């Protein structure tokens, strides 16, 4: 398993460094065909210039139940609608031909590249491009076609930072260096855009050190008080998209280094692991209390039925959706420093953070067995999300970004 994970880490870094993603070939061809032998659009604008248009590009059509990145972009679209913008959306990895022209995303119309140019060619349009691989191949051609438009680079997370940390956690020095080279390319690209968006203050500071200013628009979470009584809640929960390598690495670390240190009475309360694809990990002793549930339609009930959530990430970047989501539903989180990064936790409940496996296990035990401590942590986490990761805080960031 470790060899397969290391190979996956290396291939992800190599393909990103070489700018080769076979899934994007079709979109590259469509883009080339859309702009082939066409002059930049510099003529008179449409008489409908009072319309405010934003054209968003992301890899997939977002689904609220898929991941925190999807929920974030859906909330951003909702806020943009309230601000008076008409939103168009194109998924760069396709899979949407039957949905073109329909409002399959609430508040946004799905368009192909060809139809998007047809609708927006002579309007004032803001291009919002999510993720480094998309921004790298879209920006130059779109900027040439519509030079008067504004361009926003939404990093979602800094890919190079995440990959360099993957390499460090796996002891792969070459991958660490590749990640730093990718990060340098991200910084260079960000300097060409009109605005750059990041999801954490840590990433904003990193870009600022390289001379690139940015705006923080982090994950956006619903606030829902936990209705369950202490005696009706039990065990731990881990939520993660296992296509995302840091989740695989982090869960493997927890099962290997932390779970065996827990007393039997805590282990028997159980650990529920949510996410797909179900990772093929070597399980520790007493693994009969560990459940891999894959995808679930109703995450809220499972989260609020647990006494604690865990975020044992030892690599990765950006703000962690699993942390904000748990806190926003009244469930305290035990987490590592990387999981806490960008979450403003050090100013509220810093004692929930540790990279030491023994201390992590001790915190899990305390929060699963101490009702008062659990309540204090859940209240502090709930307030944290209310102040920093609500729709209101995101709206303030968007107003500033688009002013």
pLDDT in tens, the chain (403 residues): 567 788 989 999 999 999 888 888 878 777 777 665 555 655 554 544 567 999 999 998 888 777 788 889 999 999 999 999 999 999 998 755 445 444 457 899 998 888 888 888 778 899 999 999 999 999 998 998 888 899 999 999 999 999 999 999 989 999 999 999 999 999 999 999 999 999 999 999 999 999 999 999 999 998 899 999 999 999 999 999 898 899 999 999 999 999 999 999 999 999 999 998 888 787 766 678 999 999 888 899 999 999 999 999 999 998 899 999 999 999 999 999 999 998 888 778 899 999 999 999 999 999 999 999 999 999 999 999 998 998 998 999 999 999 8
- How many Å apart are CA 169 and CA 252, to the nearest integer? 12
- Residue 73 CA to residue 95 CA, distance in Å, equals 18
Contact (Cβ atoms closer than 8 angstroms) between residue 286 and residue 166: no
In the chain, which residues fall in CATH 3.40.50.11930? 8-217
**How many CB atoms are closer than 10 A to CB 166?**
29
Do residues 99 and 110 touch, judged by C-beta distance below 8 A?
yes
Residue 105 is encoded by which pair of tokens? 């995303």
Q: Burial letters for 66-102: b for 16+ Cβ neighbours within 10 Å, e otherwise?
A: ebbbbbbbbbbbbbbeeeebbbbbbbbbbebeebeee
Q: For the domain covering 8-217, report its CATH number.
A: 3.40.50.11930
Topology of the domain covering 230-388 = Rossmann fold (3.40.50)
Q: Distance (Å, rounded) from C-alpha 271 to C-alpha 290?
A: 5
Instruction: Specify the pTM.
Output: 0.88
């Amino acid at each position: 398993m470790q060899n397969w994970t290391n190979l996956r880490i290396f291939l992800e870094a190599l393909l990103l460094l070489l700018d080769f993603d076979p899934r994007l070939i079709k979109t590259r061809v469509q883009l080339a065909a859309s702009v082939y032998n066409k002059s930049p659009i510099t003529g008179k604008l449409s008489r409908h210039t009072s319309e405010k248009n934003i054209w968003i590009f992301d890899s997939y059509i977002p689904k609220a139940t898929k991941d925190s990145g999807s929920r974030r972009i859906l909330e951003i679209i909702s806020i943009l609608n309230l601000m008076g913008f008409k939103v168009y959306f194109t998924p760069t990895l396709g899979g949407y031909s039957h949905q073109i022209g329909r409002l399959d995303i609430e508040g946004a119309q799905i368009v192909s590249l060809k139809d998007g140019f047809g609708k927006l060619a002579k309007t004032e349009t803001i291009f919002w491009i999510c993720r480094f691989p998309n921004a790298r191949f879209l920006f130059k051609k779109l900027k040439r076609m519509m030079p008067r438009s504004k361009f926003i680079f939404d990093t979602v997370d800094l890919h190079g930072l995440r990959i360099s940390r993957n390499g460090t956690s796996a002891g792969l020095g070459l991958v660490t260096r590749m990640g730093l080279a990718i990060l340098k390319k991200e910084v260079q690209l960000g300097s060409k855009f009109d605005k750059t968006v990041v999801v954490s203050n840590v990433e904003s500071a990193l870009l600022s050190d390289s001379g690139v200013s940015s705006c923080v628009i982090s994950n956006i979470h619903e606030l829902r008080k936990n209705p369950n009584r202490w005696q009706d809640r039990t065990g731990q929960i881990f939520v993660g998209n296992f296509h995302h390598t840091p989740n695989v690495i982090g869960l493997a670390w927890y099962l290997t280094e932390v779970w065996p240190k827990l007393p039997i009475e805590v282990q028997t309360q159980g650990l529920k692991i949510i996410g797909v694809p179900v990772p093929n990990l070597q399980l520790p002793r007493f693994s009969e209390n560990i459940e891999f549930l894959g995808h679930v339609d109703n995450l809220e009930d499972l989260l609020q039925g647990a006494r604690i959530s865990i975020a044992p990430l030892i690599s990765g970047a950006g703000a962690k959706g699993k942390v904000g989501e748990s806190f926003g539903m009244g469930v305290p989180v035990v987490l590592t420093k990387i999981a806490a990064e960008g979450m403003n936790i050090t100013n509220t409940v810093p004692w929930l953070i540790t990279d030491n496996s023994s201390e992590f296990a001790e915190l899990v035990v305390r929060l699963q067995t101490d009702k008062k401590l659990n309540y204090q942590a859940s209240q502090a986490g709930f307030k944290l999300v209310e102040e920093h990761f609500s729709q209101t805080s995101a709206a303030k960031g968007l107003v500033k970004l688009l002013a």
